[in-house]
Amino acid sequence: MIVSGVVLAGGASRRFGSDKLAAPIDGVPLLGHALRALTGIVDEIVVVIAPDRARPELGPFGRPVRFVTDPERFGGPLVGLRTGLGAARGSVVLVVGGDMPWLVPGVLRLLVDRAPAVLADAAGVSRPLPCTLDRATALVAADELLAVGERRLRALLARLEAVALARADWQGEDPGALTLVDIDERRDLSQNERDPDPAIGVSWEEEPGPVREEGDRRSRSNRA
């Protein structure tokens, strides 16, 4: 099985005030941290960027990365994901945000093993990123949704009936839930690492909510 990593990096960074993916954390650009977390898990990495954007700096990174361009500027997460799915070669795709600096590889491996899958936080809310998808199925579903004007990543995950991994299933790999942290504002760079907020992780201005109502029940059944 070939696993592709797709990194969504086409956002506008409006709340941050400048290109947040270039913001340094421990001397490495924010985007570089997301890419490093994928090393050893995926067979290739595809980074989706906005059409008017230069290729971002990654910092020291020893693997080839392919950059692909969104067909429209800031078209939304589903447009970006569709672009990444079209460029990916793997049968399974691991999708992360380029603004997620503290992704835990052990948690990402759990998602790959359960694809299509997402993570549920301590409140039982399923988060759209990171997630894993069956590439062929997701491509068809994404095209259908985009054709009717849908732009939300959550809509795709609902269509695919992505499994929601309960917090108890991945807490051992990531006690602080840092995998759900995304950077929206400058203050997040220091605050989130010290004290992750349970509301963090809703990227792309998507509303919180479960991917499917039975996600928690099915996750509990799988653990029984």
**Residue range 178-189: average pLDDT?**
76
Helix and strand numbers, DSSP H then E, in the chain:
8, 9
Average model confidence (pLDDT) for the chain? 81
**What stretch of H or E contains 157?**
helix 153-159
> pLDDT class for 195, splitting at 50, 70, 90?
very low
The answer, yes or no, to whether residue 6 has pLDDT greater than 50, is: yes
Q: What angle do CA 149, 150, 151 make, to 5 degrees?
A: 115
Pinpoint the alpha helices (H) of 175-224: 188-194, 215-223
Distance CA 109, CA 105 (A): 6
| Per-residue pLDDT, 73 | 73
- Which range among 61-70, 148-157, 178-187 shows the weakest confidence by mean pLDDT? 178-187
Beta bridge partner(s), residue 97? 8
Higher per-residue confidence, 209 vs 131:
131
Higher per-residue confidence, 79 vs 13:
79
**Domains defined along the chain, listed by start:** 3-223 (3.90.550.10)
Radius of gyration of the chain (CA): 16
| Per-residue pLDDT, 22 | 64
Higher per-residue confidence, 21 vs 108:
108
| Per-residue pLDDT, 121 | 95
| Per-residue pLDDT, 93 | 98
- Residue 25 tokens read as 């954390």
Distance CA 179, CA 174 (A): 7
The answer, yes or no, to whether residue 66 has pLDDT greater than 90, is: yes
Alpha carbon distances (Å) from 51 to 48, 110, 150, 165, 180? 9, 33, 20, 34, 27
Q: What is this structure's pTM? A: 0.81
- What residue type is 197 in one-letter code? D
Ordered strands of the 3-9 beta sheet: 66-69, 44-49, 3-9, 92-97, 126-134, 117-120, 163-165
| Per-residue pLDDT, 29 | 85
Beta bridge partner(s), residue 47? 7, 67
- Residue 35 tokens read as 């890419």
Smallest CA-to-CA distance from 19 within 158, 95, 11, 149 is with 11
Burial of 221 (0-12, 13-18, 19+ CB in 10 A): exposed
**What pLDDT, in 10s, does the model give residues 77-131?**
899 999 999 999 999 999 999 889 999 999 999 999 999 999 999 999 999 999 9
Distance CA 58, CA 10 (A): 15
Higher per-residue confidence, 26 vs 78:
78
